[in-house]
Amino acid sequence: MCVLGTRPEAIKLVPVVLALAARGVVVTLCSTGQQRELVRAALDDFGLIPDIDLDLMQPDQSPEAFVSIAMPLLRHAITRLSTAMVIVQGDTATTLAGAMAAAYARVPVAHVEAGLRSGAAEPFPEDMHRRVIAQLATHHFAPTQKAQAALVREGIAWGTISVTGNTVIDALRLAEARLGADPSLQARVAEAFPPLREGRALVLVTAHRRENHAHMAAIAEAVATLAERHDVDVVVPLHPNPASGAMLQARLERVANVALVPPLGYLAFVTLLRRARLVLTDSGGVQEEAPAFGCPVLVLRETTERPEGIEAGAARLVGTDSATIVAAAGELIENEAVHAAMATAILPYGDGYAADRIAAIVAQEVVAR
């Protein structure tokens, strides 16, 4: 069983589901509904639908409330289906609930994207979730050697950790293949966002994280200033959480060259990433996706659990101070040498075959059981 609840989980588990199916492993795709519509849109881009949809999310629901509801329902599903292994991804409330449910049911837990650590209390509660899940998992699929080392420092047995690369690179490869194989699909995907002017730099902005809710006004001000000072098109997909989306909309809806769009499907987002000159984001996954297209990333956070991108030079931490964001983004827009240095950084997240490595290990374990 693959348990997922958010858009990033769906994107990063799709390659694993497909790789397992190619090996003849029967996979139950279970969605908790944490981001129900976003998950369905992401899965639809790859022709998948959940086998189980718990539809659990309620307005203003706290992570702990969500986990307390999801965990017993997931445990029931795991037991009812005689599940041989539960696969979870990342660090969300769904991931924690899935890992705990499997552990209570005495079913092995495989954690995709294991070992990410920020070295700080933030992001909360995600970093806490990662550490707890590491104690519950029996198989740790680390995207990088740095993630592997973090797990070893916490006492996780070396033999249970496999460095696989990050499955988001696999997802990008699948998305590009779908787009490349069907020109009409490219045209339909482009309808999801406004026309982009030829020859004008595109700046893509995503901001939604819980720890940044108090800083959304500053982020919005930075985006508005950037758009007003530079000859660029800015596209901002608005997150459905009003603590982020509504705040950005209030400041940016009247800025001439800023396009506010609803949450994008994955193929539409990949299309924009391929066009973008730079990305401003507080997302984790976008820090991995953008460098795959040679697109510099300015991370709107003080810390990141993905230091590999920073160390490689593909991403830079800029925090949430408006002036700092505007200066860093302006430099990447205007200075070709600075942009080229980030755009040509070596991708640290693998070769696009992480899911195959994961599927090989999982299939062998399932057959053995």
As annotated, the active-site residues are 91, 113, 126, 208, 210, 239
Our CA angle for 254, 259, 263, nearest 5°, is: 120
